[in-house]
Amino acid sequence: MGRIAYDEEQAGAFAAGRGLGPDGSGAWRAAVARHLPARPGVRLLDLGAGTGVWSVAFRQWYAAEVLAVEPAAAMRARCAYPVVVGGRAEALPVAAASLDGAWISTVIHHLPDLPAVAAELRRALRPGAPVLIRSVFAGRGGGVSLFRWFPEALRVVETYPTVAEVCAAFGTAGFEPVALESVPQVSAPSLAAAAAGLRRAAHTPLVLLDDADYERGVARLRAAADRTPRAPVVDSLDLLVLR
């Protein structure tokens, strides 16, 4: 996967700063259930599983059989899901037509050859199985509070694929978009907590900022936390579903 190297620093930052508690993940549970057959034993691919937070959630929510695939050894070493395998999106370690769905969370911008990924998912998924892509897409970053304090990071997001580009790439393998929805999540209990828990290495747009822009953003966030009541931080990311 591209853009940043998923080494020990990134893996530690993800483990410390990218989880969602019950308040944050509840809306995602409902959104996924609208598109995925939520039955015990459903076979779900978690592509780019990272530290395993979504694999664990799907096992708890649906009693799903999750295939967690993560290419970075440092992330696999910190994965909370008991079984995670190395693999690439273009060459999945799975039999043809053996999966009931694929989950791709904040990973799509790391995949340089989307048509190849789409072709491999078409091979691995059963007919009609959905691909669920959780992401911030280019042109659609306005629901993420982090960018209020780090506006320069939006320039990075504008280099991500657009919804139209993802749909076109997956269309080469016969996938069609069936839903696009903005899903809210409680990312932190307060701005103060968000500032205290911020890990630069856990956020690709912040890693790719220069140091001066990052430090200015940290100062803005801390100043806002000092003057803002302790209200939850609510962000919205997109869920794009293709079949």
Backbone angles phi, psi at 40, to 5 degrees: -55, 135
Q: What is the pLDDT of residue 229?
A: 77
Splitting the chain (243 residues) into consecutive groups of 10 residues, what average pLDDT does each group show?
Answer: 63 60 79 88 95 94 95 93 95 97 97 97 97 97 96 96 98 98 94 94 93 98 92 95 98
Topology at the third CATH level for domain 8-187+234-242: Rossmann fold (3.40.50)
Q: Which helix (H) or strand (E) holds 155?
A: helix 153-157
pTM of the model: 0.92
Cβ neighbors of 231 (< 8 A, separation 6 or more) are 190, 191
What is the side-by-side order of every strand in the sheet holding 65-69? 84-85, 65-69, 43-47, 101-105, 131-135, 233-242, 177-188
CA 108 to chain CA centroid, Å, is: 8
Q: Which two tokens stand for residue 173?
A: 């393998």
Cβ proximity of 53 and 28 under 8 Å: no
Q: How many Cβ atoms sit within 10 Å of the Cβ of residue 63?
A: 12
Where do the H-state alpha helices sit in 34-96? Answer: 53-62, 73-77
- Residue ranges covered by each domain of the chain: 8-187+234-242
Cβ proximity of 191 and 225 under 8 Å: yes
Pairing of strands 131-135, 177-188: unpaired
